[in-house]
Structure 1
């Protein structure tokens, strides 16, 4: 796949034979997007139903979407375990593991850093990873960058969470492989030939580490 630079919202469709990207623009039939909620604060993702231009792919993601909706509609859990995440940054992070009598259903992990924070929600189906929702906040300035530091550096901005760049990514998994990625960003996003491989590797490695943390 060649490098492409798209602005706004884009969706990556992955089939057995090719990988291609479709820009939003006037092609509103390609996918459906609802208003974002601040999931870092309330710990909930919104029930989005991504659609595609491929009927066969839509049929493949329907059970993933149904499973996501089922899990997110649950209000009672057999148990919820909370663990601290250490080692990834000085600010650390935290994770919550949600169980029913059938086993682990969902993991919500928050990773904090000096220049931003990341919320990642993992959803399981039949014991396997099926859907991953990511919401990344890229701060306008470091956390410590108050008005005094701003003035000392002859700058015009101090740290302001509301000025963060927000990037959301929804990853659909089937049999351990990513079959679709939907990414929403206020600026631009560069898709490289290695992006899909790196995305799958990063998410699966993080997921495995969390599973060990829960033991």
Structure 2
């Protein structure tokens, strides 16, 4: 009987978690739709983030619903996108891309040619055809500043991790989020 009760409790928790992530996914899609139609009010941080990157906040009327931070260098970048609902963090996407760095003189020459032929008139380089070293795309679902679900991917393949790594990632993401909130005031 105890096993049956435990089983019912466990399955109800798993089902509740999946429902919660589906609701979060719908909310993220809604905010992304607002972003595409320029329906959100954008606010740029007054200065670079203390983490060394660009920081933007997006508001639906007066409610903060989305924060994006971008930290980039010559051979890669890291983007964090934070989704907020009712002043609470509900979802974070972490994207880390690093280009394959040239090691030899020949590779560096190929890289320079690539940059010349893939730079537009505004000075933006399209790196989409240059080989990547990493292409990490992680999703974290939050409730009460704790991760309740996650998906970790590198080159679109699932990545296995330990519970401690997720706990540390959650601490880092929540800490960054709080710093960004202060920077946007």
TM-score (norm 1): 0.61
Cα offsets for 1:34-53 (capped at 9, x unmatched): xxxxxxxxxxxxxxxxxxxx
Structure 2 gaps of 5+ residues are 1-8, 115-126
Cα offsets for 1:68-122 (capped at 9, x unmatched): 122111124462111243443xxx3211110122410101110114552111111
Q: 2:30 aligns with which of 70, 74, 89?
A: 70
Choose between structure 1 and 2: higher strand proportion: 1
Within the alignment, does 1:180 sit opposite 2:149 as a pair?
yes
Within the alignment, does 1:81 sit opposite 2:50 as a pair?
no
Output the CA distance in 2 between the equivalents of 1:63 and 1:77.
21
The structure-2 alpha-carbon separation of the partners of 1:193 and 1:209, relative to structure 1 and needing over 3 Å to count, comes to same
Structure 1 gaps of 5+ residues are 1-15, 18-53
Q: Which residue of 2 aligns with 1:167?
A: 136
Q: CA-atom RMSD, angstroms? A: 2.9
User: In terms of Rg, which structure is larger?
Assistant: 2
Output the CA distance in 2 between the equivalents of 1:109 and 1:182.
20
The structure-2 alpha-carbon separation of the partners of 1:189 and 1:155, relative to structure 1 and needing over 3 Å to count, comes to farther
TM-score (norm 2): 0.70
- Give aligned pairs, total: 154
Q: Which residue of 1 aligns with 2:172?
A: 202
Cα offsets for 1:9-53 (capped at 9, x unmatched): xxxxxxx98xxxxxxxxxxxxxxxxxxxxxxxxxxxxxxxxxxxx
